[in-house]
Amino acid sequence: MVPGWPVLVRRGGAGLTRAQGVGSIPVLLASSNGPAQSLHLEMTDETRKTVEEIDTIIRQNAWFDFCVGSSNGNDLVITGSTDFCYYHELEITFHNVFFASVYFQNWKSDTRLPVFIIPEQAEAYQMNFQLEIEQGFDLFIFRVEDSKTDVIIAAASISYNTDTVLYYYREDLQPGMRLASTVTKPNTV
């Protein structure tokens, strides 16, 4: 593995039907016991709204950096911040991840342009075909500044949290603030 290069992670099971399509794209499903069937896949309006909300939060800042916060083999948490030295202020959780091409080192995005998007239909179709994304997973893209490679994640659903998560100990936490799980209270002698 080359440091800073994206790592491809793909999870799937045998026997699952493959579909090349996302958004509102008609696709053909092949079956071993019959002819191909036409299916119309649609990403939910709620998912589209959530992606737009997240992108709006990101783009309210003059800059925004991201990194992998955690992964448990099923869910992937991407954290976002304007200052990773002290805190992060956005957690995007991708649930039931099928595929991820992601930098494990920090990456930055140009907030003057859309950062977190759902690919357009033609691009989604091509990506689903190329990456062999299975039916039931939506594609999400982070546009990466100064890179030819964007972060791509296929997951069943997403959620997000805008708490400020501090990387240092503080007693007077305000509403919407919490300490990172690795932060402990200093010993006082």
Instruction: Please state, for a pLDDT cut of 90, what percent of the chain lies above it.
Output: 62
> How confident is the model over 15-33, as a mean pLDDT?
35
Q: What is the pLDDT of residues 77-103, one digit of tens each?
A: 999 999 999 999 999 999 999 999 999
- What pLDDT, on the 0 to 100 scale, is given for residue 8? 43
Q: Is the pLDDT of residue 174 over 60?
A: yes
**How far is Cα 106 from Cα 113, in angstroms, rounded to an integer?**
19
Beta carbons of 107 and 67 less than 8 angstroms apart: yes
- Give the pLDDT band of residue 42 (cuts 50, 70, 90): low
Domain ranges of the chain: 7-179
Strands 7-10 and 90-102: antiparallel
Q: Which of 29-38, 80-89, 95-104, 114-123 has the lowest mean pLDDT?
A: 29-38
pLDDT of residue 43: 64
Of 105, 107, 159, 138, nearest to 19 (Cα)? Answer: 138
The pLDDT, as a whole number, for residue 48 is 92
Task: Pick the closest to residue 164 from 90, 79, 66 (CA basis).
Answer: 90
Residue 23 pLDDT more than 60? Answer: no
